[in-house]
Amino acid sequence: MPKVQPRPLRLGRRWSEALSGYLFLAPYLVVFLLFMVYPVLHGLWISFQEYSVIDGVSRWVGLENYIRMIRDPVFWKSLWNTLYFTLLSTPPLVVLGLALAIAIDRQFKLRSLFRVVFFAPYVLSVSVVGILWLWLLMPDYGLIDRVLTGLGFNTPNWLFDPRWAMPAVVLTTVWWTVGFNMIIFLAGLQDIPQSLYEAADVDGAGPWQKFWHITVPGLRRVTLFVVVRQVIASFQIFGQVFIMTGGGPYGSTRVLIQYVYEKAFRDYDMGYASSMAYTLFLIILVCTVLQFKLSREQGVD
């Protein structure tokens, strides 16, 4: 269709629409600029400063914070703790989430009840979960220890043992958040067309064959999404560790965000804290780009 030159009447309407557009957008734009754009840029600027919030004095130090970070053993330990947590927690969170989704996907009577049981922990706040499991994992007197000792096992000191503290936090986190992954996988399962299964039935395929040749390929995209999202979320872990162990024992569970928090709000070394936060941001950005590229390669189904 040939482009029509806008007549004066049209022009008036275009102006009015543009104005409306800005007016509708304005409230969000204001808070967006003030509480997102400005802080993101300012935070980056702060990471190049030696910033004291007490008297607002700041001194430009260039890359000094980042260099200090690279030389800081506590930074590397925190980063490693975060990585360790991610490596320990991601497989159970993804696999169990998938297994539960598959188990519950069948139509049976108590399906909603099971869904509630596995998902309910997710709506609790981190402090409720942290306190609950701190209590459950108490050496000797906590429920878990009592049951295990009763069954004849020798139990470790859980959160007070440097080798068991992080696994204990992982256990807590799996209980808390696996329901979320289960729900996502359930949605993914429902997106697989029923007709594929019916066709397979006609061909005489057994349940295992249907699983491997229909379900697994059908879930590839969702699984990638769940894994990457889980990894990114794990890198940001803070609450449950802070509440359950405070980073101990002996710094064995201090994760990166806790170190950032300590530097910023305990030592008031905000420039340094900011540089670590932006490093984390960079890591997460890389993960996101990787996911994007991988899902592109999967192709659009």
Residues 149-208 within binding reach of another protein (CB under 8 A): 150, 175, 180, 183-184, 187
Count of residues in contact with another protein, rule CB under 8 A: 89
| C-alpha atoms less than 13 angstroms from C-alpha of 129 in its C-beta half-sphere | 22
Piece of the chain touching another protein by CB under 8 A; list 4-12, 152-160, 197-205, 232-240: 232-240
Our CB check for another protein shows the closer of 164 and 278 to be 278
Our CB check for another protein shows the closer of 118 and 158 to be 118
Ramachandran quadrant class, 299 (left: phi over 0; alpha: psi -120 to 50; beta: rest): left
Please select the residue that binds another protein; options are 85, 158, 164, 278, rule is CB under 8 A.
Answer: 278
- Radius of gyration, CA atoms only, the chain: 25
What amino acid is encoded at 186 in this protein? Answer: L
Please select the residue that binds another protein; options are 2, 4, 8, 28, rule is CB under 8 A.
Answer: 28
Nearest to 241 by CA among 154, 300, 176: 176
Piece of the chain touching another protein by CB under 8 A; list 60-68, 69-77, 78-86, 255-263: 255-263
Please select the residue that binds another protein; options are 6, 11, 12, 37, rule is CB under 8 A.
Answer: 37
Please select the residue that binds another protein; options are 3, 7, 109, 266, rule is CB under 8 A.
Answer: 109
Our CB check for another protein shows the closer of 288 and 298 to be 288
Piece of the chain touching another protein by CB under 8 A; list 30-38, 73-81, 210-218, 293-301: 30-38
Give the torsion sign (CA, 177, 179, 184, 189): positive
Contact predicate 165/245, CB 8 Å:
yes
- Does 24 help bind another protein (rule: CB under 8 A)? yes
- Does 121 help bind another protein (rule: CB under 8 A)? yes
Q: What's the rounded Cα separation, in Å, for the pair 185 and 238?
A: 25
Least distance between another protein and beta carbon 204 (Å): 18
Our CB check for another protein shows the closer of 165 and 179 to be 179
SS (H, E, C) 13-77: HHHHHHHHHHHHHHHHHHHHHHHHHHHHHHHHHHCCEEECCCCCCEEECCCHHHHHHHCCHHHHH
- Does 294 help bind another protein (rule: CB under 8 A)? no
Contact predicate 140/130, CB 8 Å:
no
- Does 57 help bind another protein (rule: CB under 8 A)? no
Expressed in percent and rounded to 5, the helix, strand and coil fractions of the chain are: 75, 0, 25
Least distance between another protein and beta carbon 257 (Å): 5
Please select the residue that binds another protein; options are 11, 74, 123, 216, rule is CB under 8 A.
Answer: 123
